[in-house]
Structure 1
Amino acid sequence: MASTIEWELYRAFLGVLREGSLSGAARALDVAQPTVGRHVAALEAALGLVLFTRSQTGLLPTEAAHALRAHAAAMESTAAALERTASGLRDGLEAAAGTVRISVSDVVGVEVMPAIVADLARRHPALKVELVLSNRVHDLLQREADIAVRMTAPRQEQLVARRVGTIELGLHAHPDYLARRGTPAMLADLDAHAVIGYDRPTPFVRQAAKALPGYARERFAVRTDSDVAQLALIRAGAGIGVCQVPLAARAPALVRVLPDAFTFRLDTWVTMHEDLRASPRCRVAFDALVDGLAGYLASAQALKGR
């Protein structure tokens, strides 16, 4: 096996894995299709492995390709992190310039982050933000992101973390829905209501189910694993569902139901790799996230105090 294999070969390999064909990978990577084919063939020759087999539907990855995928993806993350760091160095270490990659959950990314990013852009116009919306916990040690907003405390010693506060979840519904169907007075009343919930269980869902007996898939009138879609459905009056309390207060305002029967709290942390502590681009983004999320949580406390 060749001792040195160029990154471009692995990049083509990942492109075919994700797109399922040479043509799809070529479009995604913005290179010519024959180039992708040559790179994949060169990688197979260098490794001494068959990575793809042809089928009527495209290229099918072999067992060897699946085994290599995580390692190639880690290389991709490291290469991207190198480029982000280099972009900051080109623009000067003393300025908050370059690119910062931030990982947040779907709902926080759609509902909370736009205002934070807009404020960050006004104060640091040379800063570029890559916003990754996913409920998957991105690996900061592998540099899949520079900064992450997490709902669990980080355990790795190499991470810098700041606890922002607690996000409370509760059952909510649109006033129009409650006007049509009535307001439940106890948990048992939910049997007569359209409840919005998940399609497939996750660790969070299993935790929430412990706090809300009967929160089970077969009882949901509408099912989706997208938190953003669940929020939109609640706002549209499709039923009763779980929502962050600070979001429920936004227009159109939602009504909380059964607050004494169900509440769930998520610790909220902003984290980044300790090696990025001295990076101006990451430091200003980290501080902006802490301040912005703290303001978001404070707004919920102010509303509760009314």
Structure 2
Amino acid sequence: MDWDKLRIFHAVADAGSLTHAGDVLHLSQSAVSRQIRALEDSLGTTLFHRHARGLILTEQGELLFEATSSMVRKLDTTAARIKDSEEHVFGELKVTTTTGFGTLWLVPRLAKLYDRYPDLKINLMLEERVLDLPMREADVAIRMKEPNQQDLIRRRLLNIRMRLYATPEYLGGAGTPQTLADIANYRLICQSPETPQVGAGAVLVQTLLAQNSSSLLMVNNYFGVLQGVLNHVGIGVLPDYVVADFPNLIRVLPDLESGEVPVFLAFPEELRTSRRVSAFRDFVLEEIQSIRKFQAESDGDMA
């Protein structure tokens, strides 16, 4: 099949309109229409249902669009590899991670990455939904569980735990709980167990809520929990990586914590040689050492 015709078909299917596709391709509507008719003639089938509101793919058109979409993704990947230079890291990098890890740990450190690679353009997608890396919804993912998608390069960064923290100011006024049952007498700040979060965190929260605290603040993300803790609202459930940046916080009930949660970095096998991906991966590995050091020191203090 003629690639030019396939390219035009893909643009029309993506835009749902001959006119809009022509604008993207810098072709007249009549030229686009001729190419689509020629492609349909060569395939002996109809690719679009035509009506007043635009174009809708036929079943055969859907099959062809799926094939051209795969071709476009591979071409984009190839183009990115070609543009990547051994000396110069630039262009867009799509990164996805959880809202908590992204807002509380990753974003505050990105200035260092931009200092190193000022022409890098990061598209950061923060959500609990796991994006499809092989389908290139993102280039790199940092997730709180091992990815199970195929054809991924993955690396465990560290293990984290959810623990209880408060400010000296809050504990100075309210006192410090000595047992789990004492939590009933303090204001607890946590995510709701129904909020999307790692299972280990939800289990710890359920254990704490079972103590029937007299006062409670529930927030749907760790950023809100941290703000509550920093502003002396109460005792908060936070992942230990957060507290590395707030050494003034005091760990409460040090024997109480969630189970370990593994943190993985992953990217598609086809991006193994991408300079952008390598630069981001190496940066994260360097920065993650601060968390490991903090965890080692904290665990040592508790011993």
TM over 0.5: yes
1:156 deviation in Å? 2.7
Structure 1 residue aligned with 2:270: 275
1:149 deviation in Å? 0.7
Alignment of 1:144-293 (within 5 A): 144-199=137-192, 201-202=194-195, 204=197, 206-211=199-204, 214-216=207-209, 221-251=216-246, 253-293=248-288
Distance 1:156 1:96, change over 3 A: same
1:92 deviation in Å? 4.2
Distance 1:126 1:114, change over 3 A: same
Q: Provide the C-alpha distance between the structure 1 equivalents of 2:147 and 2:84, rounded to a whole number of angstroms.
A: 31
After TM superposition, the structure 1 stretch with the greater mean CA deviation from structure 2, 108-117 or 145-154, is 108-117
Q: Provide the C-alpha distance between the structure 1 equivalents of 2:185 and 2:74, rounded to a whole number of angstroms.
A: 51
1:195 deviation in Å? 0.9
Contact residue 270 and residue 290 of structure 1 kept, 8 A: no
Root mean square deviation, CA, Å = 3.6
2:103 corresponds to which of 101, 110, 130: 110
Percent identity of equivalent pairs: 28
* Local SS of the residue matching 2:181: helix
Distance 1:205 1:281, change over 3 A: closer
1:144 deviation in Å? 1.3
Structure 2 residue aligned with 1:136: 129
Contact residue 191 and residue 205 of structure 2 kept, 8 A: no
* Local SS of the residue matching 1:99: strand
Note the alpha carbon deviations across 1:104-152, whole angstroms, 9 max, x for none.
Answer: 2222212222354222222222322122222222221221110011111
After TM superposition, the structure 1 stretch with the greater mean CA deviation from structure 2, 231-240 or 193-202, is 193-202
Q: Provide the C-alpha distance between the structure 1 equivalents of 2:71 and 2:260, rounded to a whole number of angstroms.
A: 34
1:250 deviation in Å? 2.9
1:290 deviation in Å? 2.1
Equivalent residue pairs, number:
255
Is 1:123 aligned to 2:116, yes or no?
yes
Distance 1:206 1:94, change over 3 A: closer
Q: Which has the larger radius of gyration?
A: 2
Q: Provide the C-alpha distance between the structure 1 equivalents of 2:184 and 2:51, rounded to a whole number of angstroms.
A: 58
Distance 1:270 1:189, change over 3 A: same
Q: What is the TM-score normalised by the length of structure 2?
A: 0.70
* Local SS of the residue matching 2:256: coil
Distance 1:212 1:224, change over 3 A: closer
Q: Provide the C-alpha distance between the structure 1 equivalents of 2:71 and 2:254, rounded to a whole number of angstroms.
A: 45
Contact residue 166 and residue 232 of structure 2 kept, 8 A: yes
Alignment of 1:295-306 (within 5 A): 295-305=290-300
Partner amino acid for 2:181? A
Q: Provide the C-alpha distance between the structure 2 equivalents of 1:205 and 1:131, rounded to a whole number of angstroms.
A: 20
Structure 1 gap ranges (5+): 14-37, 49-67
Q: Provide the C-alpha distance between the structure 1 equivalents of 2:78 and 2:290, rounded to a whole number of angstroms.
A: 29
